[in-house]
Amino acid sequence: MATIIRNRQIIADSWQLLKPAAKGSPSSIPPAGDVIVPLALWREQRDILSSRAGRLGVWLDSHEEPAAIAGDFDRFALVAVNFTAFGDGRGYSTARLLRERYGWRGELRAIGEVVRDHLFFMAGCGFDAFMLREDQDPEEALTAFGDFSDAYQASAERPLPLFRRRFLASPDGMEWS
């Protein structure tokens, strides 16, 4: 069984990721088991997908709008965002929007070009699960979360930017550092 990183641990993963069907051919939906479906399939087959056995997740491609699924959050056990290339950072904004604007609280999984050197930033934007690219060493990847011990900006783990935390941390509301 495949493994993923979730909450900074390597765990076995049972989810099956469905790719978009080739043009013209019908999508095949496995009768059972946990599936992550592309947005287009969710739009076409929402009734079938909602009534089947097994948990349901949806994945957004890098150009797809988080608003497209924001009204359906109660149907999903997982949302994934696809990174199409090493240098394509659109998914970072997608993640922040899902977390901060639309209030997705469940698992947010990065898929696609997910490599060690992106994990720290991905976590900062709200991802808590990572399906590493095949060639990545999961043990080595875990160390990425410790690359930096703090950040200037707000993040999923630190909802306030550093400049506000600095002031909160001092007893009289003044600078402490």
Partner 1 sequence: MYIYDEIDQRLVDERVAQFRGQTRRFLAGKLSEDEFRPLRLRNGLYIQRYAPMLRVAIPYGLLSAKQLRKFAYIARTYDRGYGHFSTRQNLQFNWPKLEDVPDILAELATVQMHAIQTSGNCVRNVTTDHYAGIARDEIVDSLVWCEVLRQWSTFNPEFSYLPRKFKIAVNGSRADRAAVQVHDIGLHAVRGADGEVGFRVLVGGGLGRTPIIGHVIREFLPWRHLLTYLDAILRVYNRYGRRDNLQRARIKILVKERTPEVFRKEVETEWAHLKDGPATLISGEIARIERRFTRPLYQNLDPLASGYVLALTRDRAFANWVRRNVHPHKVLGYAAVTLSLKKTGAPPGDVTAQQMDAIADLSERYSFGELRVSHEQNLILADVRLSDLHAMWQEARALGLATPNIGLLTNIICCPGGDFCSLANAKSIPVAEAIQRRFDDLDYLHDIGELDLNISGCMNACGHHHVGHIGILGVDKQGAEYYQISIGGAQGNGAALGKVLGPSVAQAEVPDVIEKLIDLYLARRDSEEERFVDVVRRIGIEPFKEHVYGNHHQESADHSRQLAAA
Closer of 48 and 85 to partner 1 (Cβ):
85
Closer of 24 and 87 to partner 1 (Cβ):
87
Closest distance of CB 89 from partner 1, Å:
3
Closest distance of CB 55 from partner 1, Å:
28
Neighbours of 70 (CB within 10 A): 14
The pair of structure tokens assigned to 144 is: 């990425």
**DSSP state, 108?**
E
**DSSP state, 171?**
T
Closer of 37 and 136 to partner 1 (Cβ):
136
**Please, is 171 exposed, middle or buried when counting C-beta atoms within 10 Å of its C-beta (0-12, 13-18, 19+)?**
exposed
DSSP string, 58-93: EEE-TTS-THHHHTTGGG-SEEEEEE-STT--HHHH
Closer of 8 and 11 to partner 1 (Cβ):
8
Closest distance of CB 109 from partner 1, Å:
17
Closest distance of CB 33 from partner 1, Å:
33
> Which residues are at the interface with partner 1 (CB under 8 A)?
85-90, 92-94, 96, 101, 115, 117, 120-125, 147-155, 159-164, 166-167, 173-175, 177
Closer of 9 and 157 to partner 1 (Cβ):
157
What lies within 8 Å, CB to CB, of 126 at 6+ separation is 95, 96, 98, 99, 100, 108, 155, 156
Closest distance of CB 62 from partner 1, Å:
9
